[in-house]
Homo-oligomer: A and B are copies of this chain.
Amino acid sequence: MPPTLRDQLPALANKAYFNYGGQGPLPTPSLEAMVTAWQRIQELGPFTDDVWPFVESTVARLRRRLGCWLGVPPHRLSFTENVTSGCVLPLWGLPWQAGDALLLSDCEHPGVVAACRELAHRHGLSLHSLPVADLLGSPAATDAAVLERLEAALTPRTRLVVLSHLLWNTGQIMPLEQVAAHLQDHPRRPWLLADAAQALGSLPVAAAAAVVDIYACTGHKWCCGPEGLGVVALSERVLAEARPTLIGWRSLSHEGTPASGFHADGRRFEVATSCIPLFAGLDCSLQLLETEGSAEERHARLRRSAGDLWRQLQDVPGLDTLLQVEPPAGLVSFTLAGMSPVEVVGQLGRQRVWLRSLDQPACLRACTHLPTNAADLEALLNALRSTAKT
């Protein structure tokens, strides 16, 4: 019998792990793929004509696979070091005009918010908030409320909307396709930026990624790839309208000459030397996920375990889940009465059960993914019950 995915994740051998949304465990075959890539680069190179075909095919293979996952042609992808770079890099090169308005959901990651504040500060833009943190009901009600509030929040000056695909705190899915369609009707057609840190590897993303202008992902969370490699899918208009900011030889169409123009495709936002073995590692992790079923099947499985967890959490004394319904994906957030989230994380950690705390709102977050099994859920529930009692 071939090894299961779980068998190939040494991180799960000594703990009940619920932090896939922080960082996913690295499969042993992915680590081996990186070591093999490093050894091959040493054998052929590291800097020789013999090594470039290997480097190029390693990058191209991952670009093609991610193009399939994201439902966009590979030339619209830029590789980045992390999801934040993917969100922020294209923004600095867009043709802003003083007075333009940025509309950010109130569930965006602090890094992206801080970057938008700095952008607003330098270009004389205004920042506005789209409230979605309080949407804790059914997907249908959530979708309707998001669209209604978006309609209310848009003004003639709105030039950018920032909305995560899967909210990292409440765990709600945002209706990006409908949002994108709605923005098409706005006279200024605001750009749509989606932080997909929690989406790639946990949800089917192709439909959303294909219609969003800046759809930024990382490989080291739900994809279980190595840390230090992300990807952003860019719309044709962002490729045409945004100028590169952090420029290096990879951005240039003729890297040997300073007078070179920029690449017309996603490479215009790439910078300089990256760690090629990480590309081999992420490609291996994505292949391992593919053997677990289609994106829809994988999403259904991790939503099932999140639903199991959510239902059982209802019976833990003093525990309140943020969502009033079963979670639409793998994020399950909750509070324990009278306990600080940081304190609970420490107490559970001493029992080798790991989840994380969040600041806004102050809560705990448990993630369920394909490797999550019944024993994990039981360990978490037992630990929470004993903690709630003390």
- Chain B, residue nearest A50 (CB): B349
Would A83 and B38 be within 8 Å (CB), given that A111-B251, A260-B114, A354-B47 are in contact? no
- A46, B359: Cα distance in complex, Å: 20
**Chain B positions within 8 Å of A345 at CB level:** 49
Chain A 265-276: CB-based contact to B (< 8 A → 1; otherwise 0): 000000111111
Interface presence of A333 (CB below 8 A) = no
Q: Are B248 and A82 in contact (CB under 8 A)?
A: yes
Chain B residues contacting A251 (CB-CB under 8 Å) are 111, 114
Task: Report how far A247 CA is from B272 CA in the complex, Å.
Answer: 18
Given contacts A39-B10, A249-B84, contact A110 B260 (CB under 8 A): yes
Name the residue of chain B whose CB is nearest to the CB of A24: B46
- Determine if A243 and B274 form an interchain contact, defined as CB atoms under 8 angstroms apart: no
Q: Bits for A1-44, please: 1 = Cβ < 8 Å to B, else 0.
A: 00000000111001100010011111000010001001101110
A272-B82 in contact (CB<8A)? yes
**Nearest B-chain residue to A122, judged by Cβ:** B243
**Which chain B residues border A118 with CB–CB below 8 Å?**
243-245, 247
Q: How far is the CB of A18 from chain B (nearest CB, A)?
A: 10
Q: Identify which of A246, A249, A276, A360 gathers the most chain B CB atoms within 10 Å of its CB.
A: A246
A131 within 8 A of B: no
Number of copies: 2
The answer, yes or no, to whether A212 is at the interface (CB within 8 Å) is no
Contacts of A276 in B (CB 8 A): 227
* Number of chain A interface residues as a range: 35 or more
29 A-B contacts, Cβ less than 8 Å apart? A10-B42, A11-B45, A11-B46, A15-B48, A19-B48, A22-B46, A24-B46, A48-B349, A48-B354, A50-B349, A81-B272, A81-B273, A82-B274, A83-B272, A84-B247, A84-B249, A85-B271, A89-B246, A92-B92, A92-B245, A92-B246, A111-B247, A111-B272, A114-B262, A228-B228, A246-B246, A256-B359, A257-B359, A275-B278
Residues of A within 8 A of B (CB): 9-11, 14-15, 19, 22-26, 31, 35, 38-39, 41-43, 45-50, 81-85, 88-89, 92, 108-115, 117-118, 122, 218, 220, 226-229, 243-249, 251-252, 255-258, 260, 262, 271-278, 345-346, 349, 354, 356, 358-360
| CB-CB nearest 8 A-B residue pairs | A228-B275, A22-B47, A84-B248, A113-B258, A84-B272, A256-B359, A111-B248, A115-B247
